[in-house]
């Protein structure tokens, strides 16, 4: 027999019961769900990676399943939800400092605006010479820094000296991936936030700007789902 919808437990756990009944073969229409439910809040799920426990492992994204769990950040706007998810995954987005940017050619146009936003937010930018030249040509001031193979002082030295608050690094090709391995590994070991995709960079900038506007707060789940409280 199906639970009565008038029971207090049904009101509180209604969505949970609906999910169970769907798993047992009920359709959405049979459960009274006839239109798409669009929540007003934003939920961002983030994978938790154990790279720091495995010396020599590269942190670049790939097809292998490397995460050991997932966390989620919830808020009324994307930037704060993303920042909460990062914090839950032990990634701290900086609010000030130097940002290192090294981007493959195919991504350069896409990073102009987020780089401008960072400078406007008070960050300074350091970049490999190709990226620095490109950004400067588009009105984004960037200080050039040596790649590891170009000799010291280079970017890995700067990260180890706690001069870099965040790293954005996209690569293409085997040689580029190998050359930038030491950058990714050093950011990991020094607990520096790093992103290896343009999408990750844009999301991180959104999170930083949101935190600069106001601090993160904690909201009970009941406030996101008042109809189930």
Strand partners, 168: 101, 195
In tens, the pLDDT along 116-135 reads 999 999 999 999 999 999 99
Task: Indicate if the pLDDT at residue 13 is higher than 60.
Answer: no
| DSSP sequence for 165-204 | SEEEE---SHHHHHHTHHHHHHHHHTT-EEE-SHHHHHHH
pLDDT at 228: 46
User: Looking at the domain 54-65+92-213, which fold is it?
Assistant: Rossmann fold (3.40.50)
Mean pLDDT over 20-47 rounds to 85
Judged by average pLDDT, the poorest of 95-104, 150-159, 184-193 is 184-193
β pairing state of 143-144 and 166-169: unpaired
Mean pLDDT over 96-103 rounds to 96
pLDDT at 96: 96
**Which residues lie closer than 8 Å to 198 by C-beta, 6 or more apart?**
103, 107, 110, 111, 170
Burial of 43 (0-12, 13-18, 19+ CB in 10 A): middle
- pTM for the structure as a whole: 0.78
Closest of 6, 12, 5 to residue 225, by C-alpha: 12
pLDDT at 12: 42
pLDDT at 205: 98
Mean pLDDT score of the chain, rounded to an integer?
A: 85
Domain spans, the chain: 1-38, 54-65+92-213
């Amino acid at each position: 027999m199906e639970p009565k919808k008038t029971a207090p437990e049904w009101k509180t756990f209604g969505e949970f019961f609906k999910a169970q009944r769907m798993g047992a073969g009920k359709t959405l229409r049979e459960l009274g769900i006839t239109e798409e439910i669009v929540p007003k809040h934003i939920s961002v799920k983030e994978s938790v990676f154990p790279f720091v426990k495995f010396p020599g492992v590269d942190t670049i994204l790939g097809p292998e399943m490397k995460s050991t769990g997932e966390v989620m950040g919830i808020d009324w706007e994307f930037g704060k939800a993303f920042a909460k998810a990062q914090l839950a995954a032990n990634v701290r987005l900086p609010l000030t400092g130097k940002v290192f940017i090294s981007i493959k050619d195919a991504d350069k146009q896409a990073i102009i605006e987020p780089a401008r936003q960072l400078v406007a937010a008070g960050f300074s930018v350091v970049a490999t010479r190709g990226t620095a030249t490109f950004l400067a040509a588009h009105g984004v001031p960037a200080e050039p820094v040596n790649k590891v193979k170009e000799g010291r002082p280079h970017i890995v030295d700067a990260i180890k000296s706690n001069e870099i608050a965040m790293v954005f690094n996209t690569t293409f090709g085997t040689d580029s991936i190998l050359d930038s391995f030491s950058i990714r590994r050093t950011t990991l070991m020094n607990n520096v936030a790093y992103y290896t995709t343009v999408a990750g960079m844009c999301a991180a900038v959104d999170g930083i700007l949101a935190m600069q506007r106001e601090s993160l707060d904690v909201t009970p789940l009941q406030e996101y789902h008042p109809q189930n409280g």
